[in-house]
Structure formats: structure tokens, C-alpha cells
Amino acid sequence: MLHKTKGVVLKYFKYRDTSIIAKVYTEEFGLQSYIVNGVRSARAKGKIALFQPLTLLNMVVYKKPNSGIQRISEMNCSTPLNSMPYDIVKSSIGVFISEVLYKCIKEDEADESLFNFISRTILSLDAQKEINLNFHLIFLIQLSHYLGIGITTTNQFMYIDSANEVEKLEELINSEFDSRHSIPNSLRRAILDDLLQFYRTHIDIPGEFKSIEILRAVLK
């Protein structure tokens, strides 16, 4: 049976010679795996670009009960990203965001509020004229509420012993994506480590976050 849904690409894996398996967070069905045949062939005419992390899609998909891998009938980019693919800072933050979402979202059930938050995050990052270097920290704080581990106070971080770090984290907890806070790079890194430690305490997260080293190299 065919269904229309919006989706956000989180990751894809190469499959056989010319195909992929794409992990897509959908508005109607939550996290889904889709096999896409021939998308890496010369005849595909660049369709692989539709499966870059955080691409926003309109999709017509098959939904077969009790099947771990589904198929896509039709798809197109719903909202092209104008700056993120060409800005090294934005794209590095985007890769980190997609990795966090891929590792932390487990549910294959619809969650409209989470889908809307992810879409808003992507569009906010793409639209920023002067990138907020704390964007990824605010993202982690806001995402925590949709994952059921909401960060609401610095009292949840008993392992932080730096008063300066507590002060800046408190500011970030009450921030939006366009909020500006002057945070030294070393302190920004420490807060990121603490936020990820909080996530690991509450969520079973497989492996390490591979995008962190790139993020740290770019955010100087």
C-alpha cells in the first residue's frame, strides 16, 4: 500500500554495486529503512544527492507490515538547502546533528512534534547568516525534551564542578537557535562533552560520535 509522507534523511549505507539503504526519519512512520536500487549508477543522474544527511524529502512509500526494509515509489526534495551544503561550519554542525539523530532515535512510530522540531532545526541552521557557534549545544538541549530526558536545569549535571561552565550551560538551557552567547572554544568543548555524557547516561548510544573531531577542528 502506498502512503505519502515527509522525511528527513539521517544516513545511508552502500548496498551491493549501485544501491543504498537509507535511514529516513518520516513524519508518518518514524524511523524507517528504505532500499533504493540503482541510485549510485551512472544512469541515476545525481539522485544520490537526495540522500545526503538532513535532506528534506517529499515521499510516496510502500509500507509493508513486519518488514524491516521498505521501498520508495516517488521522492523529491521538499525544501532545498541554500547554504548548509556549501558552508564548512554549517555542514559540519549538520553532520553532527544527523549522527546524533541516527544514534538516539529508536522508534519506528510517528512523532509529529519530533519531526517538526528536526525540520525546524535544519531550516534554522540553513537560514542563519552569521552562524551561531553554539548551535549544536542548543540543539542537544532542545532535542532532549523530545527524547524524554529533558534538560531543564544545571542541577541535572552533578559532575560539573566549574562555576563558569554551570553559568554558561544555564544560559544555553534557556536559549533559542538565534540566541548569542560568548563562550570560549575550550568551554564550548567541555559543555559538549558534558551534554553527551548526559545523553549516554540516559540513552543506550552505540559507538562513538565520529563527527565530533571534525566539529572541533572547524569550531575554533
pLDDT digit string, tens, across residues 113-163: 999 999 999 999 999 999 999 999 999 999 999 999 999 999 999 889 899
Residue 62: count of CB within 10 angstroms of its CB = 13
In angstroms, how far apart are the furthest CA atoms of the chain?
58
Domain ranges in the chain?
A: 2-77, 84-218
Query: One fold for both 2-77 and 84-218?
Result: no
Residue 44's pLDDT band (cuts 50, 70, 90) = confident
In CATH, the architecture of 2-77 is: Beta Barrel (2.40)
Q: What is the pLDDT of residue 46?
A: 73
Mention every residue, 6+ apart, whose C-beta is less than 8 A from residue 153.
Answer: 170, 173
Dihedral pair phi/psi, residue 153, rounded to 5°: -155, 155
Q: With H, G, I as helix, E, B as strand and everything else as coil, classify residue 163.
A: helix
Q: Name the fold adopted by 84-218.
A: de novo design (two linked rop proteins) (1.20.1440)
User: Would strands 70-77 and 30-36 be described as parallel, antiparallel, or unpaired?
Assistant: parallel
Lowest-pLDDT range, 63-72, 74-83, 111-120, 165-174?
63-72
Q: With H, G, I as helix, E, B as strand and everything else as coil, classify residue 63.
A: coil
Residue 180 cell numbers, joined? 548569542
